[in-house]
A and B are shown apart, each in its own frame.
Chain A
Amino acid sequence: MSRNILVSALILGVFGFIGATLVAVTEFGTHDRILENERQALLQQLYEIVPKQQVDNNILAHPLTVHAPEELGQKSSLVYVGEKGNQLSAMVFEATVPDGYSGPIRLLVGVDSNGVLLGTRVITHKETPGLGDKIEKGKSDWIDGFTGKSLVDPKLDRWKVKKDGGDFDQFTGATVTPRAVVNGVRRALLYFDQQKDALYKEYLEKAQNKP
């Protein structure tokens, strides 16, 4: 009886080992490619926001980690810094809007050195298909409406959807979603306004230590 159990355990062990080997070999074979894919996907997303001619550094090389749960809506967010001719030319913030219609909305917000929006993209969301999901670039051009805007254009008290007396369009049947995104972008802009010098300094130090 005990011999039976031993043989069974052995068989199970052998298959466990074979399974683990298979996974390990696949992981080994795909690891670099997956990392490269993720890097490319991120880079593509960043270049959709920041025009390529706007930067001449490697924008992915030294991302900053900032902790601004109030302003950017996440415990810690990454900030990518773009330079041109050794001067700050663009910053891209990861931000989360907690108050979407059905959950948080994750954004990338890109600003140039004067605080003018280069572009915004929604990375993930759970908004209603057909209504709130028009914030996605693939579904409508609404998100492009932010490009060129800043804290002075429109004025800060006009940073609302039209229904609330602001300058931004809402969608038919969905006000909560655009309202949340507008707020999120505004908060990110304010954060940039307060922190840009400090952030750029931090970036320079980081880049100097690890060129």
Chain B
Amino acid sequence: MSTSYREIINNGLWSNNQALVALLGLCPLLATSNSAINGLGLGLATTLVLVLSNTTVSLIRNLVRPEVRLPVFVLIIASFVTAVELSMNAWFHDLYKILGIFIPLIVTNCAIIGRAEAFASKNTVPKAALDGLMMGIGFAAVLFTLGSTRELIGQGTLFSGAHLMFGEMARGWTVEIENYKGVLLAILPPGAFLGLGSLIALKNWIDKTRKERVRKEVAVPGEKEAAAT
């Protein structure tokens, strides 16, 4: 049971992306992806929890008996989420106020306990930590992409509220399309579902085109031989 580092990276970012393939953690994903900064904020918080919980679970994987394994994982995750929540409240107060209920809800993100159980509890610490990081980045990237798209279509802006996360200097980062009224649907919950659906479709399409290209490259030399005989 050993996965190479390359595979871990590829799994987390693309082929087993928690949001696009595993479809885990959809509740916070859909709810906080109404702007790029909100999406990024929750994505980073989730990544942090994933790395911390994966590392810890891997550290104690030989200590904990199988029968109490899951409750221990839940305890670890809940403690880390609470710690992250308190820290965000202390250092990113405004962002915390916007993300509000979804920070404590990271506990219920199945992606986290899923990675703890399926990967971290069976692998070495560096691999588990990397897996947490990559799964987190993959999740955050989807949140950020979905958030940016919805914000742009729905409101005609991008990075509004960046100063909540990056301080006062980021106030000028907001991009705004002039004279654009916005499509309300994109900001409302259905927009989240439509957006996520499109992203999944896009990923599947890319995978399919790639596979076909590989197949053709393999097939081409074969055809030549057939023509020669």
Q: A206 to chain B: closest CB distance in Å?
A: 28
Size category of the binding interface on chain B: 20 to 34
Asked if B89 contacts A37 (CB within 8 A), the reply is: yes
From A8, A34, A130, A131, B65 is in contact (CB under 8 Å) with A8
Question: Is the C-beta of A193 less than 8 angstroms from some C-beta in chain B?
Answer: no
Stretch at the interface among A11-19, A49-57, A147-155, A181-189: A11-19
Q: A11-B64, A11-B72, A12-B71 are in contact. Are A129 and B184 (CB under 8 A)?
A: yes
- For the complex, give the distance between the alpha carbons of A11 and B65 in Å: 8
Question: Is the C-beta of A27 less than 8 angstroms from some C-beta in chain B?
Answer: yes
- For the complex, give the distance between the alpha carbons of A129 and B72 in Å: 41
Q: A19-B75, A129-B184, A130-B182 are in contact. Are A12 and B83 (CB under 8 A)?
A: no
Q: A7-B65, A11-B65, A12-B68 are in contact. Are A129 and B83 (CB under 8 A)?
A: no
**Nearest 10 interchain pairs by C-beta:** A19-B79, A30-B90, A37-B93, A26-B83, A33-B90, A130-B184, A8-B68, A30-B86, A129-B187, A19-B75
Question: Is the C-beta of A22 less than 8 angstroms from some C-beta in chain B?
Answer: yes
- For the complex, give the distance between the alpha carbons of A7 and B91 in Å: 40
Residue of A nearest to B88 (CB): A30
Asked if A34 contacts B90 (CB within 8 A), the reply is: yes
- For the complex, give the distance between the alpha carbons of A41 and B86 in Å: 16
Q: A19-B75, A22-B83 are in contact. Are A11 and B89 (CB under 8 A)?
A: no
Q: Count contacts on A: residues with CB < 8 A to the other chain.
A: 26
Q: A11-B65, A12-B68, A12-B72 are in contact. Are A34 and B184 (CB under 8 A)?
A: no
- For the complex, give the distance between the alpha carbons of A131 and B182 in Å: 11
- For the complex, give the distance between the alpha carbons of A130 and B71 in Å: 44
**17 pairs of residues in contact across A and B, judged by CB atoms under 8 Å:** A7-B65, A8-B68, A9-B68, A11-B65, A12-B71, A15-B64, A15-B72, A18-B79, A23-B86, A26-B87, A30-B90, A34-B93, A38-B93, A41-B97, A128-B184, A129-B154, A129-B188
A37 partner residues in chain B, CB cutoff 8 A: 89-90, 93
Which of A11, A27, A131 has its CB near the most chain B CB atoms (within 10 A)?
Answer: A11
Asked if A41 contacts B93 (CB within 8 A), the reply is: yes
B219 partner residues in chain A, CB cutoff 8 A: none
Residue of A nearest to B188 (CB): A129
- For the complex, give the distance between the alpha carbons of A8 and B64 in Å: 8
Residues 39-88 of B contacting A (Cβ, < 8 Å): 63-65, 67-68, 71-72, 75-76, 78-80, 82-83, 86-87
Residue of A nearest to B97 (CB): A41
A4 partner residues in chain B, CB cutoff 8 A: 65
- For the complex, give the distance between the alpha carbons of A22 and B83 in Å: 7
Residue of A nearest to B160 (CB): A138
B64 partner residues in chain A, CB cutoff 8 A: 11, 15
- For the complex, give the distance between the alpha carbons of A34 and B86 in Å: 8
Question: Is the C-beta of A20 less than 8 angstroms from some C-beta in chain B?
Answer: yes
B87 partner residues in chain A, CB cutoff 8 A: 26, 30
Residue of A nearest to B182 (CB): A130
- For the complex, give the distance between the alpha carbons of A38 and B82 in Å: 18
Residue of B nearest to A27 (CB): B86
List 5 other contacts, CB 8 Å, given A130-B155, A130-B184.
A12-B68, A15-B64, A20-B79, A34-B86, A37-B90
- For the complex, give the distance between the alpha carbons of A27 and B97 in Å: 18
Asked if A23 contacts B83 (CB within 8 A), the reply is: yes
- For the complex, give the distance between the alpha carbons of A38 and B93 in Å: 8
Q: A7-B65, A8-B67, A11-B68 are in contact. Are A26 and B82 (CB under 8 A)?
A: yes
A22 partner residues in chain B, CB cutoff 8 A: 79-80, 83
Q: B170 to chain A: closest CB distance in Å?
A: 16
- For the complex, give the distance between the alpha carbons of A50 and B78 in Å: 41
B94 partner residues in chain A, CB cutoff 8 A: 41
